[in-house]
């Protein structure tokens, strides 16, 4: 029976992990580092700050209890804003990870530590990215990618003394039924496309767009955390060979707009042009200088993540599939239309329960 300590329990992924842990037969208790007072039954909420060097900002009694009892730690807390400035991203993601690893080193039961990362530590690399690869000098698209890369370096350096496992995630779009609980950059980008505020995107027609379902990601993380045979290594939870190309995603989104909102066709909106990165950057600069408010808002979202499409890469998940051969992955071409329908029906606002919006 495991005692699990989860950081970032209030986030989209953290909540999905908690939900799976709380019904697992091998989990006796869960400490959830959260900023919410209301948590599911059976969860012990604790309050702290991963950027605090002393016991993650936990009060002394709580810190001692976790250090004495925890057998598994899942580190899901991070600054995931793609627009974050380098100091802020590094403070939370590098500093927070170092603090977490130092805390784990003082735990009595030598808990397994699962550090969540992103496949985009690959930055501006192109080609196939394997799970055993990390260090490169290709550069990064944004400070988030760079800070997670630096955090992963810290985690790898501690693998010799701690049972650390790194789990890299690609873009989590929704659960396999299309339910969206929080809007992320990709959801906003689809909204701008729907509203004709995304006239161009960088990349090529064949640029891979790697997306993954939330429930699949949470299930993989929990399985890796609880499986005593899993090695201290790196796993990529991603679409892998099951990914859409940029052109296929744009075409599928267009088809979904028409299917789920037939009146949309009357607006005669064109598909975004796929252009070079240089052309996209010139467009962004022009919009920021003279564009209207709506177009500036769309560019403000796109400019922090869309340039990644100009560095085409495919992520290999062979190590994960070997470790969890029976883990079924939802087909992203089947999930994507459900997500678009959910977004259209809730008006990209999520002001009503998503379950009602996604029949």
Residue (of 72, 80, 65) closest to 26 by Cα position: 72
What's the rounded Cα separation, in Å, for the pair 72 and 267?
A: 53
Q: At what angle do helices 293-302 and 277-290 cross, to 10 degrees?
A: 140
pLDDT digits (tens, 9 = 90+) for 119-168: 999 999 999 999 999 999 999 999 999 999 999 999 999 998 999 999 99
Joined together, the tokens standing for residue 112 give 């397994």
* pLDDT one-digit tens code per residue, 47-87: 999 999 889 999 999 999 999 999 999 999 999 999 999 99
Element (H, E) at 208: strand 208-209
Helices 214-226 and 12-21, packing angle to 10 deg: 50
Task: List all residues 6 or more positions away from 290 whose beta carbon is below 8 Å from its beta carbon.
Answer: none
Whether the predicted pLDDT of 355 surpasses 70: no
Q: State the average pLDDT for the chain.
A: 92
Residue ranges per domain, the chain? 2-176+210-242+313-330
- Could you please report the per-residue DSSP string of 111-167? -EEEEEEEGGGGTT--EEE-TT-----S--SSHHHHHHHHHHHHHHHTTTTS-EEEE
Among 3.40.50.620, 2.60.40.60, 3.30.70.20, 3.40.50.720, name the CATH number for the domain at 2-176+210-242+313-330: 3.40.50.720
pTM higher than 0.85: yes
Tell me how far apart the alpha carbons of residues 224 and 323 are, in angstroms, rounded to a whole number: 8
Given its phi and psi angles, is residue 290 left (phi above 0), alpha (psi -120 to 50 degrees) or beta?
alpha
Query: Tens of pLDDT along 235-274?
Result: 999 999 999 999 999 999 999 999 999 888 777 778 899 9
pLDDT at 293: 85
Distance CA 106, CA 14 (A): 23
Is the confidence at residue 354, as pLDDT, over 50?
no
Measured CA angle at 33 (ends 77, 165), to 5 deg: 50
118 versus 349: the higher-pLDDT residue is: 118
Q: For the segment 89-118, what is each residue's pLDDT rounded down to a tens digit? A: 999 999 999 999 999 999 999 999 999 999
**How far is residue 262's CA from residue 265's CA, in Å, rounded to a whole number?**
6
CA dist., res. 157 & res. 175, Å (int): 33
Residue 344: pLDDT band (50, 70, 90) is very high
Identify the pLDDT of residue 359: 35
């Amino acid at each position: 029976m495991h005692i699990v300590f989860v950081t970032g329990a209030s986030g989209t992924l953290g909540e999905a992990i908690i939900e799976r842990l709380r019904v697992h037969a091998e989990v006796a208790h869960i400490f959830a580092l959260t900023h919410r007072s209301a948590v599911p039954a059976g969860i012990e909420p604790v309050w702290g700050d991963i950027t605090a060097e002393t016991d993650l900002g936990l009060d002394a009694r709580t810190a001692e209890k976790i250090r004495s009892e925890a057998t598994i730690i899942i580190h899901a807390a991070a600054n995931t804003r793609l627009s974050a400035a380098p100091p802020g991203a590094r403070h939370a993601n590098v500093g927070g990870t170092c603090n977490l690893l130092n805390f784990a080193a003082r735990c009595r039961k030598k808990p397994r530590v699962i550090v969540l990362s992103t496949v985009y530590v690959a930055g501006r690399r192109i080609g196939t990215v394997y799970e055993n690869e990390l260090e490169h000098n290709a550069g990064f698209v944004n400070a988030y990618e760079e800070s997670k890369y630096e955090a992963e370096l810290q985690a790898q350096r501690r693998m010799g003394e701690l049972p650390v496992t790194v789990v890299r995630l690609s873009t989590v779009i929704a659960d396999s039924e299309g339910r969206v609980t929080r809007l992320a950059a990709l959801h906003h980008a689809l909204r701008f496309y729907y509203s004709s505020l995304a006239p161009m995107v960088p990349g090529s027609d064949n640029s891979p767009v790697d997306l993954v379902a939330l429930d699949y990601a949470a299930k993989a993380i929990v399985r890796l955390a609880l499986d005593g045979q899993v090695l201290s290594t790196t796993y990529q939870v991603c679409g892998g060979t099951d990914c859409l190309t940029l052109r296929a995603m744009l075409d599928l989104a267009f088809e979904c707009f028409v299917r789920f909102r037939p009146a949309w066709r009357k607006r005669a909106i064109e598909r975004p042009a796929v252009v070079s990165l240089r052309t996209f950057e010139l467009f962004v600069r022009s919009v920021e200088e003279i564009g209207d408010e709506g177009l500036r808002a769309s560019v403000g979202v796109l400019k922090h993540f869309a340039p990644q499409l100009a560095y085409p890469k495919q992520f290999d998940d062979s190590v994960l599939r070997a470790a969890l051969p029976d883990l079924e992955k939802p087909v992203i071409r089947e999930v994507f239309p459900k997500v678009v329908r959910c977004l259209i029906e809730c008006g990209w606002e999520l002001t009503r329960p998503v379950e009602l919006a996604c029949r």
